[in-house]
């Protein structure tokens, strides 16, 4: 596998699932390290550290599945960028390729200038299926709450798509609407009370496309 004895010892010490490892689990680790090295250029010791610290579920994936996912990331984003993405977000290889491919197409169709850059900057977005009901609800609530277009949301506030539960967003939106209807607050004033910060001061562009 090309790892130093010290790195292997560290992994076995820190990872309880592997501390009582079988020959099969060690073989899985070797295969995963080989795939990441071959497809992404990730050195084996880095793979060991990822497994020890993150215990990614792709360790249990069929090798061909792991290889296809790694190769697809490298083809789309470039080998170096894909490797960086996986190191920063080990779960990227858990994501079915079709999910982030659909997301790229959707973002491009909405007018996002560089959808690849958005996903590289916020690799956790890879996991979110843009068509999943929870994600759609999250996006639409954020748009209504802050008056953002899809482009503005993805390009400038993508991290917000992962931060707040849908129930919290719905509650804040109701509060904004309440202030507007009963306290005669202006739209922007109501937003800033409900959600202080840069998101509330974003340019208004109600567009749920």
- Of residues 22 and 65, which shows the higher confidence score? 65
The pLDDT confidence band at residue 144, using thresholds 50, 70 and 90, is confident
Helices 44-54 and 5-14, packing angle to 10 deg: 10
CA distances (Å), origin 160, targets 9, 100, 127, 169 = 39, 18, 15, 11
Three-state DSSP class for residue 182: helix
Q: For residue 75, give every residue at least 6 positions away whose Cβ sits within 8 Å of its Cβ, in sequence order, or none.
A: none
In this predicted structure, the answer to whether residue 185 has a pLDDT above a threshold of 60 is: no
Listed residue (69, 78, 134) closest to 101, CA to CA: 69
What's the rounded mean pLDDT across residues 55-77? 92
In this predicted structure, the answer to whether residue 194 has a pLDDT above a threshold of 60 is: no
The model's pLDDT over 1-42, given as tens digits with 9 standing for 90+, comes to: 555 555 555 555 555 445 445 556 777 888 889 999 999 999
Q: For residue 82, what pLDDT is reported?
A: 95
Q: For residue 41, what pLDDT is reported?
A: 95
- Of residues 26 and 182, which shows the higher confidence score? 26
Q: How far is CA 209 from the centre of its chain?
A: 22
The pLDDT confidence band at residue 93, using thresholds 50, 70 and 90, is very high
Instruction: Report the C-alpha gap between 50 and 65 in whole angstroms.
Output: 18
In this predicted structure, the answer to whether residue 136 has a pLDDT above a threshold of 60 is: yes
Helix runs in the chain, H state only: 5-14, 16-19, 23-40, 44-54, 63-77, 79-88, 97-110, 115-121, 133-146, 150-157, 166-182, 187-194
Listed residue (45, 121, 123, 43) closest to 91, CA to CA: 123
- Of residues 44 and 20, which shows the higher confidence score? 44
- Of residues 66 and 173, which shows the higher confidence score? 66
CB contact at 8 A, 134 and 164: no
Judge residue 174's burial from the number of C-beta atoms within 10 Å of its C-beta, 0-12 exposed, 13-18 middle, 19 or more buried. exposed
CB contact at 8 A, 42 and 34: no
Per-chain mean pLDDT for the chain: 78
Most distant CA pair in the chain: distance in Å? Answer: 69
Looking at residue 183, what DSSP letter applies? S
CB contact at 8 A, 44 and 2: yes
Listed residue (176, 174, 168) closest to 193, CA to CA: 176
pTM above 0.85, yes or no: no
């Amino acid at each position: 596998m090309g790892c130093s004895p010290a790195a292997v010892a560290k992994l076995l010490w820190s990872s309880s699932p592997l501390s009582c490892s079988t020959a099969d689990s060690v073989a899985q680790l070797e295969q995963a390290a080989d795939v990441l090295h071959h497809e992404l250029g990730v050195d084996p010791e880095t793979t060991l550290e990822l497994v020890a610290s993150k215990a990614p579920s792709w360790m249990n994936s069929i090798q061909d599945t792991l290889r296809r996912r790694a190769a697809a990331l490298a083809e789309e984003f470039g080998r170096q960028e894909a490797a960086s993405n996986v190191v920063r977000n080990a779960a990227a290889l858990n994501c079915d390729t079709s999910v982030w491919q659909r997301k790229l197409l959707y973002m491009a169709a909405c007018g996002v200038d560089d959808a690849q850059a958005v996903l590289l900057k916020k690799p956790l977005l890879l996991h979110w299926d843009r068509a999943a009901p929870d994600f759609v609800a999250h996006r639409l609530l954020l748009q209504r709450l802050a008056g953002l277009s899809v482009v503005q949301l993805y390009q400038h506030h993508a991290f917000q798509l992962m931060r707040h539960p849908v129930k919290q967003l719905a509650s804040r939106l109701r509060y904004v609407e309440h202030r507007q209807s009963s306290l005669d607050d202006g739209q922007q004033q109501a937003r800033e009370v409900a959600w202080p910060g840069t998101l509330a001061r974003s340019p208004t562009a109600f567009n749920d496309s």
